[in-house]
Amino acid sequence: MRIFFYLFLFISLHPKAYSNIQSVYFAGGCFWCVEEVFEKTTGVVNVESGYSGGDKKNPTYMEVVTGNTGHIEATKIDFDPEIIDTNQLVKTLFLNIDPFDNEGQFCDKGYSYRSAIFSNDQELINQAKELIQKIEKNHNEKVQLMILPFKNFYLAEDYHQDYYKKNPIRYNYYKYSCGREKRINQIKLNLK
């Protein structure tokens, strides 16, 4: 029995077991909420909250929310492309943001809370642009999500990682009072 355990452990810890894992970088307002959505998405193996898009190296949360760093609250989403593809991930992002808000997301306003996809992958960019065209046609409204070149990603402070798990009461109060789910339900986004 031990031999099977050690064999399983060896295989699961072997670098080849995770060699297919890819990453995307999305912003959808408060990174706590984006992290929760994607951690509960089948095929996603890890999600980390951080900052992306700006020029300041290793910014802090307080520096980012002032709006002076050029960074946006973002998430690094590691996924297994054999289980979920980038098109499904982009759709998941759109279904969990207000794509028409150009001032931030829900109750969080300012550049650091804008929605964005950070990528240099032309296929992913094309998928996002195609979806934006569908949404604009179906809703007769301009999508405000930004598609930006990926430059960098800096991890947010430890207390931001898995916030929804570590602080469920505070997190759920924030999410409810911010009106995130209420607004998402009002939009009834049509992706067809």
Residues taking part in catalysis:
30
H or E stretch covering 163:
helix 163-166
The sign of the CA dihedral 41, 126, 113, 97 is: negative
84's tokens: 């979920």
Tell me which DSSP letter residue 162 carries: T
The single-letter code of the amino acid at 175 is K
How much is the CA Rg of the chain, to the nearest whole Å? 18
The single-letter code of the amino acid at 55 is D
Tell me which DSSP letter residue 156 carries: P
Residues in the chain: 192
Nearest to 112 by CA among 89, 86, 146: 146
Alpha helices, DSSP H only, in 40-121? 61-65, 86-94
For 10, 28, 58, 132, 147, the CA distances from 71, given in Å and listed in that order, are 39, 13, 10, 23, 14
